[in-house]
Amino acid sequence: MGTARYLEIADELRRAILSGTHPVGGRLPSESDLAARWSVSRGTVRQAVATLAAEGLIGSSQGARRIVLRHERRHSFGELNSFAQWAEGVGHEVRSRFLSRTRRPATAEEAERLALPPGTEILAVLRLRSLDGEPTMVERTAYADWVAAAVEALPQDCRSVMDSLAADSGIVAHYGEHLIDALPAGSEDARLLEIRRGGPLLRQRHTSATRSGRPIEWSDDRYRAGSVTFSVSNSAVATPLERHPGSGER
C-alpha cells in the first residue's frame, strides 16, 4: 500500500483515540488484527502506528501492543504532517489562500537548502493560512524547479499544497528538518495577520524532501502569537530536537 493508505489508517485510529473509543491506558488491537481490519500489510499498519507514536498519542515501545497515552493532540516535530492535517486533526476549520506565485532566481540560501545550482529558477509562494476564520500564519515558500509547475496548477484556495502534490503528482514528503525561533512582525506580516507592527511572531522554517532525499520546498512560516503550540516528544533512544544559538536573522 502507498503512503496515502497508511495516513488514512492513522487518521482513523487518531479519531478513535480522540473520541475515547480507545481509552487512555488501554491497548490498541494487535498489528495482525489492524492489518486484517483494513486488508493491508503489517508494514503499512506499522507506518500508521508510528505516526501516532510520534505524536505522543500512543506508546512508542516496539513489539507489544501499543498503549494509548493521551486524548489530546498537539503539533509535534516528531511527525511530518501538513498544517491542514494538524488543524483539522484538532477540530479547527482551516483555510488557505495563495497571495502570489512568482518564478525567480533562487537566493543563495534557497539554492543551498534546495540543493540547486546558484541562480536556478524556483517558485516563490506567499500564502495566508487561517483557523476558524482568523488569520493565523503567513507562509513564504520556495519550491524547487522540478515541482514548480505542479504548484502553479493548484487552485488559489488549495487546502494543502503537500497533500495535493502527493495525491495529484505523486510527490510525497518523507523527511523534514525544522528550525524554530521568534521575531517581531514586519509591516507585511502585521497587515496580513491583523496585528501591530513589531508584535511577536513564532517562526518555523523547514525543508521537506522525498524518500530519496531530493528537496521539495524550503519554507518560512510565521505564526501569530498564541495561535499554535509545538511539541517535541523524545526518549533515551530518539531525540528529534536539537538546540542551536540564535543567528540574529530577520
* Second-level CATH architecture of 3-73: Orthogonal Bundle (1.10)
In tens, the pLDDT along 140-167 reads: 999 999 999 999 999 999 988 988 998 8
Q: Evaluate whether 3-73 and 83-231 have a shared fold.
A: no
| Closest to 179 measured CA to CA, from 56, 77, 75, 53 | 77
In tens, the pLDDT along 17-59 reads: 877 788 877 888 888 999 999 999 998 998 888 878 766 678 7
Q: Could you tell me what percentage of the chain is helix, strand and coil, using 3-state DSSP and rounding each to the nearest 5?
A: 30, 30, 40
The pTM of this model reads 0.66
DSSP character at residue 106: P
How far apart CA 115 and CA 10 sit, in angstroms, is: 32
For the chain, which residues make up each domain, given as ranges?
3-73, 83-231
Query: Which CATH superfamily includes the segment(s) 83-231?
Result: Chorismate lyase-like (3.40.1410.10)
How far apart CA 10 and CA 51 sit, in angstroms, is: 7
Helix (H) or strand (E) holding 108: helix 108-113
Strand partners, 102: 124
